[in-house]
């Protein structure tokens, strides 16, 4: 029998709190009488805002502090944007639940003066704000005439920088904008043929302790199997390539016949930071063995040269010891 009290660890950013409150409310509906508390805190990724993410580390920037709370029994679960959760978790912790995915696409948000433009028609030299090496590499590949500039801070802060004229446009996750009630700022959803999204983007991951069956029983009501299958394939692909959150690795997953249990199709890419080299491939197979698909795609890309590209990137962006 599940316990009557549940403690949630969360980042304190506005988006993180919106997501955590959604999880709290849904669990409350599913388990009447369950008392739920939220412990919000700042993570390393939240505190260091004047350095590019890739320069301060690429694993656990937004998760370590939350995980520590679970390991010392001050929290039972942690709610993450799944794209921020490393594929290798600390000993004693596990990914207990993956929620239904929102649109995983990247979105273009423009300054008012470019309301009549699309990503393809922005003028040469237009300043694009992104903190993602994945987005940077793909957009450099397709739009080398644009200028790219790092942007940090939460979504609201980034939008303020855009509106003040510091940037001509931003690339943000459509799901995050939607959850914040800012869907009207989406000017264009970027097609997967241009920008494959981050592993897990658009889904929430609920992390918990290994063997905590009472908590697992509580949170499994939020599991969305089609999303979980897609994200497990994506995470296996990333894990096999040994890529952290801050590397130019993108994915897209879909079901061949969503209503009839068809194959799972996984597309993935690895690109060099300058966008000059971009290796992309696709595999399909049994949706009930998603991790095998991820491993197969990683192997295929590595054989086509992705390993050498990633080694160069790791040498370039790996933080100093």
Contact by Cβ (8 Å): 10, 79 = yes
Q: CA end-to-end span of the chain, whole Å?
A: 46
* Spatial distance between the Cα atoms of 270 and 277, rounded to a whole number of angstroms: 8
Contact by Cβ (8 Å): 55, 317 = yes
* Spatial distance between the Cα atoms of 6 and 35, rounded to a whole number of angstroms: 6
Is residue 84 part of the annotated active site? The answer reads yes
Token output for 108: 């273009």
Token output for 176: 């995050």
Q: What order of strands is seen across the sheet that includes strand 249-255?
A: 249-255, 264-271, 278-285
* Spatial distance between the Cα atoms of 230 and 135, rounded to a whole number of angstroms: 20
From the candidates 84, 106, 168, 212, give the one annotated as an active-site residue: 84
Tell me the per-residue pLDDT of 273-308, one tens digit each, with 9 for 90 and over: 999 999 999 999 999 999 999 999 999 999 999 999
Could you give the domains of the chain? 1-100+203-223 (3.40.190.10), 106-189 (3.40.190.10), 224-321 (3.30.160.40)
| pTM, 2 dp | 0.90
* Spatial distance between the Cα atoms of 308 and 171, rounded to a whole number of angstroms: 27
pLDDT band at 48 (very low <50, low <70, confident <90, very high): very low
Tell me the per-residue pLDDT of 164-220, one tens digit each, with 9 for 90 and over: 999 999 999 999 999 999 999 999 999 999 999 999 999 999 999 999 999 999 999
Q: What is the largest CA-CA distance in the chain?
A: 62
Task: Provide mean pLDDT across the span 147-176.
Answer: 95
């Amino acid at each position: 029998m599940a316990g009557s009290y549940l403690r949630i660890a969360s980042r304190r950013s506005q988006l993180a709190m919106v997501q955590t409150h959604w999880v709290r409310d849904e669990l409350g509906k599913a388990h009447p009488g369950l008392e739920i508390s939220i412990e919000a805190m700042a993570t390393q990724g939240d505190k260091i805002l004047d350095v590019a993410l890739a320069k301060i580390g690429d694993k656990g920037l937004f998760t370590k502090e939350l995980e520590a709370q679970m390991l010392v029994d001050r929290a039972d679960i942690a709610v993450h944007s799944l794209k921020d959760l490393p594929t290798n978790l600390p000993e004693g912790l596990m990914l207990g639940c993956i929620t239904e995915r929102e649109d995983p696409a990247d979105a273009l948000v423009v300054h008012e003066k470019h309301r009549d433009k699309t990503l393809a028609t922005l003028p040469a030299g237009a300043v694009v704000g992104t903190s993602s090496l994945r987005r940077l590499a793909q957009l450099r590949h397709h739009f080398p005439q644009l200028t790219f500039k790092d942007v940090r801070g939460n979504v609201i802060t980034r939008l303020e920088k855009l509106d003040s004229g510091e940037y001509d446009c931003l690339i943000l996750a459509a799901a995050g904008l939607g959850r914040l009630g800012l869907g009207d700022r989406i000017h264009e959803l970027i097609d997967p043929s241009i920008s494959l999204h981050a592993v897990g983007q658009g889904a929430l991951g609920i992390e918990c302790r290994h063997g905590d069956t009472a908590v697992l029983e509580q949170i499994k009501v939020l599991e969305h199997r089609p999303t979980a299958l897609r994200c497990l394939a994506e995470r296996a692909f990333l894990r096999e390539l040994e890529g952290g959150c801050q590397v130019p690795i993108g994915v897209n997953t879909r079901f061949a016949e969503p209503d009839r249990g068809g194959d799972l199709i996984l597309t993935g890419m690895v690109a060099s930071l300058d966008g000059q080299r971009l290796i992309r491939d696709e595999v399909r197979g049994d949706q009930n063995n998603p991790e095998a698909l991820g491993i197969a795609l990683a192997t295929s890309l590595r054989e086509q040269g992705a390993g050498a590209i990633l080694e160069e990137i790791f040498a370039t962006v790996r933080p100093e010891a």
